[in-house]
């Protein structure tokens, strides 16, 4: 479980990193939407931030994440300019593709393709339920 300090740090980084993607470095995502940050985890020493990205409407999401990983230095520099008054050191950024939406779609398809037979009909031959109190109806 993350400490209160890690949570505050992560929420600030998430907000500012989203702005970096949207406003400061839009040329990296020419023709596609900037990635969405689905989760951001910060190490206990606040030195490393693991950023999980969801890439929408991209032909190859893994290629998009690789492009971001190649430009990590530029992204970190732009982030540092935005948060220079709030934090002393900007953490190293590690970017990962978040496949949770694709996994949820896959699991939904698996569940809908299951062949589950209907439940057997209820028997009317069951004895009546015992009454515990005299005034029960």
Q: Write down the domain spans for the chain.
A: 4-113
Share of the chain above pLDDT 90, in %: 39
What three-state secondary structure class fits 106? helix
Kindly give the pairing relationship between strand 36-42 and strand 48-54.
Answer: antiparallel
Looking at the DSSP bridge assignments, the partners of residue 31 are none
41 has pLDDT over 90: yes
> Stretch 73-96: mean pLDDT, rounded?
92
Q: Which single residue is written with the structure tokens 């031959």?
A: 125
Q: Going by CATH, does the domain composed of 4-113 fall within 3.30.300.20? A: yes
CA distance 54 to 42: 18
The pLDDT value given to residue 126: 66
The pLDDT value given to residue 31: 72
Kindly give the pairing relationship between strand 92-97 and strand 48-54.
Answer: parallel
CA distance 73 to 85: 20
- State the chain's mean pLDDT as an integer: 85
- pLDDT tens-digit readout, 101-137: 778 888 888 888 888 888 777 666 666 677 777 665 5
43 neighbors 89 (Cβ within 8 angstroms): no
51 neighbors 72 (Cβ within 8 angstroms): no
CA distance 24 to 79: 9
Name the least confident of 8-17, 24-33, 62-71, 86-95.
Answer: 24-33
- pLDDT tens-digit readout, 46-58: 999 999 998 877 7
| pTM, two decimal places | 0.72
24 neighbors 75 (Cβ within 8 angstroms): no
């Amino acid at each position: 479980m993350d400490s209160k300090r890690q949570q505050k740090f992560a929420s600030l980084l998430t907000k500012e990193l989203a702005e970096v993607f949207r406003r400061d470095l839009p040329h990296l995502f020419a023709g596609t939407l900037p990635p969405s940050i689905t989760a951001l985890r910060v190490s206990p020493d606040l030195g490393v931030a693991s950023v999980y990205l969801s890439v929408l409407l991209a032909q190859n999401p893994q290629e998009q994440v690789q492009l971001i990983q190649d430009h990590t230095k530029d992204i970190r520099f732009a982030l540092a300019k935005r948060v220079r008054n709030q934090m002393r050191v900007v953490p190293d950024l590690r970017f990962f593709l978040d496949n949770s939406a694709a996994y949820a779609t896959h699991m939904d398809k698996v569940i809908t393709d299951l062949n589950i037979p209907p439940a057997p009909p209820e028997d009317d031959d069951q004895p009546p339920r015992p009454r515990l109190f005299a005034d029960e109806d």
